[in-house]
Every structure is written in C-alpha cells, then in structure tokens.
C-alpha cells in the first residue's frame, strides 16, 4: 500500500514552503471552516469550497495561483494542540540528519516527510512507469517517469528524469543521494535534483 501523507504533514509542508506561522495558519484554517467561509494568512488566502458530512474541502490560493485543494476532517479542525506545528517540528528535526564519515546517514522510507532535503536512501525498484514527454518551465522537452521504490519500512514514488530512467531497472537495489521529499496530489514523492544521484548498489537493501 502506498503511503499517503496526513493533513498535518501536508499543511506543515505548505506552512514552511510559503513561510507562514504554523499557529496563524491553523487559526486561519479553522476560521475558513467557520461562518466566515474564508480567511487569509500571510500571502495565502483560504476558502471553504464545500462542506461534507465529516469535514470540509479547503481551497488555498496565493494571488491567482491555486496552491492546494483538499479535504480536512472535523476531527483535525477541532484538535486542541496545533497538529500543523507538531508536524513541522518533526519535519525540521528530521532535516538535521547527522553526518557520519563525511556521508549523510541512510534513512528509511517511513522517516521521510515533505520538506526534507539532502536525503540518502537505499531501496529496491518495484516498478517503473512508461516514460512521457513534458515541456519544462524553461521551455525544454524532457522525459519523465515514476518509479515505485521500497525498503522494509514502506514504499514511495521516485520521480525520474531523462537519463535517470534508463539507468535503472525493476529489481535493482539503488542508493539515492541528495534527494528531497515533496508532495504531489497529497502523496509523498522523492526527487533527485542536479546535485543528486541514483546508482545501482551491489549491497542488499538494508534491514
């Protein structure tokens, strides 16, 4: 089963990305869920788009740009302690991975949270999707595919670009260096930038 991020983790990621205070962000969400139906927090606008039996659907925008639209439960909105703040603290603590012999420590998939950077991970390739061509924001055409990777603690999608796609195969154990964790449609995703690498490891996946 693929791991989904919780509402608190996703909102913590948004609060860090858009540099809004976690307490004020949570208050704004609760306000939008109430009679006002809309609120603001920093440069973000929050609107209640739809009421459901067990919660609401929130729309978050920044100017004309849609940042996110997703459901939030009533239970989440009535939490005494700010769940966004707790999730943000956890994510920040996991960013501070310790160094050992000049290398970042290996993490497990279960420990990955949106917003984490410089991730080092060893995992097995379970499946690779068909590659498709996309136009990047710079106007270039690139090939992109998603791989599903796993270790003993869980699974996560790995986004592959261009030559990365042909460099690995299903069944390979790979070591991923200098990756970061983001979310796409509420699901965690691992991305390897220009400074990162994916290489086949001849050692078994760590237990």
Return all residues near 79 (Cβ < 8 A) that are at least 6 apart: none
Please state, rounded to an integer, the average pLDDT across all residues of the chain: 82
Task: Give the C-alpha separation, 52 to 54, whole Å.
Answer: 5
- Out of 2.40.50.140, 3.40.50.1700, 2.60.120.10, 3.30.1490.100, select the CATH number for domain 99-200: 2.40.50.140
Give SS3 for 115: coil
Which ranges in the chain belong to alpha helices (H)?
7-17, 22-33, 74-77, 83-95, 163-167
How does residue 103 score in pLDDT terms, banded at 50, 70 and 90? low
d(CA 172, CA 157): 15
Question: Model-level pTM?
Answer: 0.51
* Higher pLDDT among residues 12 and 202, named by residue: 12
Domain ranges of the chain: 7-90, 99-200
26-35, 83-92, 116-125, 134-143: which has the highest mean pLDDT?
A: 116-125
How many residues in total does the chain contain?
A: 207
Give pLDDT, residue 156: 93
What pLDDT digit, counting tens, does each position of 146-195 carry? 999 999 989 999 998 888 888 889 999 999 998 988 887 778 899 887 78
The tokens 């042909």 sit on which residue?
166
Query: Residue 53 pLDDT more than 50?
Result: yes
pLDDT tens, 17-46?
A: 888 888 899 899 888 887 668 899 999 999
């Amino acid at each position: 089963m693929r791991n989904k991020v919780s509402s608190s983790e996703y909102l913590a990621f948004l609060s860090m990305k858009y540099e809004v205070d976690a307490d004020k962000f949570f208050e704004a969400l609760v306000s939008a869920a109430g009679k006002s139906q809309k609120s603001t927090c920093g440069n973000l606008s929050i609107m209640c788009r739809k009421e459901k039996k067990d919660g609401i659907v929130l729309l978050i925008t920044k100017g004309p740009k849609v940042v996110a639209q997703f459901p939030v439960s009533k239970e989440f909105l009535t939490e005494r302690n700010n769940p966004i703040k707790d999730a943000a603290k956890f994510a920040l603590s996991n960013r501070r991975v310790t160094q050992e012999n000049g290398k970042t420590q290996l993490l497990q998939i279960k420990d990955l949270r949106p917003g984490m950077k410089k991730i080092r991970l060893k995992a097995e390739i379970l499946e690779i999707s068909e590659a498709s061509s996309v136009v990047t924001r710079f106007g270039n055409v690139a090939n992109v595919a998603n791989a599903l990777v796993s270790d003993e603690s869980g699974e996560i999608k790995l986004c592959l670009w261009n030559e990365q796609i042909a460099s690995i195969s299903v069944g390979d154990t790979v070591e991923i260096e200098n990756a970061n964790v983001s979310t796409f449609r509420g699901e965690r995703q691992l991305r390897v930038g220009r400074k990162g690498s994916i290489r086949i490891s001849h050692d078994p996946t760590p237990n």
